[in-house]
């Protein structure tokens, strides 16, 4: 246990533990790292309504935007400042300046939201050069017909993350310091002589059945929503 005398090593281990505690250990964190969006629990609409084109409509994809799941998804993508842009896709092409004026927003916030939508296949642009001034105008079109496919992909990623996590839980034994609420894998606990490197308390074997059950419940819900039953 010579290593336990090494303060810097302990500090390093501690930072790893803290990361683990707020990451893998915390059940709330069951979300894919690639996404900032967590899929809400069931019920979850599998088929999202897509508004049919109407001649007199003011806003495109109106029906879809009533869906709270879609709203939450867009909000997670563009954030509160971009939400007015994301929540009111105009019919046809529009410039960033028109949007800023219409929605009474800062041009930069509009551009940021548009770019995020573009990165997520939810908007495209066309560049037009003014012959006199040489000025470039960007004409944007919203493509919310891709929203259902994006949501499906997000759920797929979450399912993979959950399955990976389940593997990890099933393939490891865990030990807990009840004083610090730090969880250790078996090998780590053994390295520390089954004593907490923080406070010296004995590390106790810890079951994870509840966590596996919670993961299974979420997986069941996701898979039925994805139609994988």
* 70 part of the interface to Zn ion, by CB under 5 A: no
The CA distance from 214 to 42, in Å, is 14
Instruction: Enter the tokens of residue 132.
Output: 């006199």
Q: Which of 149, 140, 168, 145 is CA-nearest to residue 30? A: 168
The CA distance from 195 to 202, in Å, is 5
* 179 part of the interface to Zn ion, by CB under 5 A: yes
Residues 22-61 that bind Zn ion (CB under 5 A): none
Residue 126 belongs to what H/E stretch?
strand 123-129
Integer CA distances (angstroms), 89 to 78, 193, 226, in order: 13, 60, 27
Q: Shortest Cβ distance from residue 74 to Zn ion (Å)?
A: 43
Quick one: which segment of 23-31, 84-92, 177-185, 186-194 binds Zn ion (CB under 5 A)?
Answer: 177-185
Q: Shortest Cβ distance from residue 201 to Zn ion (Å)?
A: 5
User: Judged by CB, which is closer to Zn ion: 169, or 180?
Assistant: 180
Q: Spell out, one character per residue from 121 to 160, where the chain touches Zn ion: x when CB under 5 A holds, - when not.
A: ----------------------------------------
User: Judged by CB, which is closer to Zn ion: 38, or 201?
Assistant: 201
* 180 part of the interface to Zn ion, by CB under 5 A: yes
Q: Which residue has the tokens 């069941």?
A: 220
* 228 part of the interface to Zn ion, by CB under 5 A: no
* 195 part of the interface to Zn ion, by CB under 5 A: no
Return the residue of 39, 65, 122, 196 that touches Zn ion, per CB under 5 A.
196
* 198 part of the interface to Zn ion, by CB under 5 A: yes
Quick one: which segment of 7-15, 37-45, 135-143, 188-196 binds Zn ion (CB under 5 A)?
Answer: 188-196
The CA distance from 141 to 91, in Å, is 8
Q: Which of 107, 111, 135 is CA-nearest to residue 123? A: 111
* 116 part of the interface to Zn ion, by CB under 5 A: no
Per DSSP, the three-state class of 203 is coil
The CA distance from 47 to 148, in Å, is 7
* 199 part of the interface to Zn ion, by CB under 5 A: yes
Judged by the rule CB under 5 A, the positions of this chain that interact with Zn ion are 177, 179-180, 196, 198-199, 201
């Amino acid at each position: 246990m010579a290593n336990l005398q090494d303060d810097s090593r302990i500090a390093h281990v501690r930072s790893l533990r803290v990361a683990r505690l707020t990451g893998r250990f915390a059940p709330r964190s069951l979300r894919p790292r690639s996404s900032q969006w967590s899929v809400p629990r069931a019920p979850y609409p599998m088929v999202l309504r897509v508004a049919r084109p109407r001649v007199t409509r003011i806003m495109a994809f109106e029906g879809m935007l009533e869906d709270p799941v879609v709203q939450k998804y867009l909000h997670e993508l563009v954030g509160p400042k971009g939400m007015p842009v994301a929540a009111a896709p105009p019919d046809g092409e529009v410039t960033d300046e028109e949007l800023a004026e219409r929605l009474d927003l800062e041009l930069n916030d509009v551009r940021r939201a548009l770019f995020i939508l573009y990165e997520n296949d939810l908007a495209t642009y066309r560049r037009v050069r003014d012959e006199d001034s040489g000025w470039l105008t960007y004409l944007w079109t919203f493509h919310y017909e891709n929203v259902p496919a994006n949501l499906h992909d997000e759920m797929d990623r979450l399912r993979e993350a959950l399955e990976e996590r389940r593997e990890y839980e099933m393939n490891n034994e865990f030990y807990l310091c009840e004083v610090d609420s730090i969880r250790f894998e078996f090998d780590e606990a053994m390295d520390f002589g089954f004593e907490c490197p923080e406070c010296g308390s004995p590390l106790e074997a810890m079951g994870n059945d509840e966590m596996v059950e919670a993961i299974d419940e979420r997986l069941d819900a996701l898979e039925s929503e994805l139609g994988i039953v």
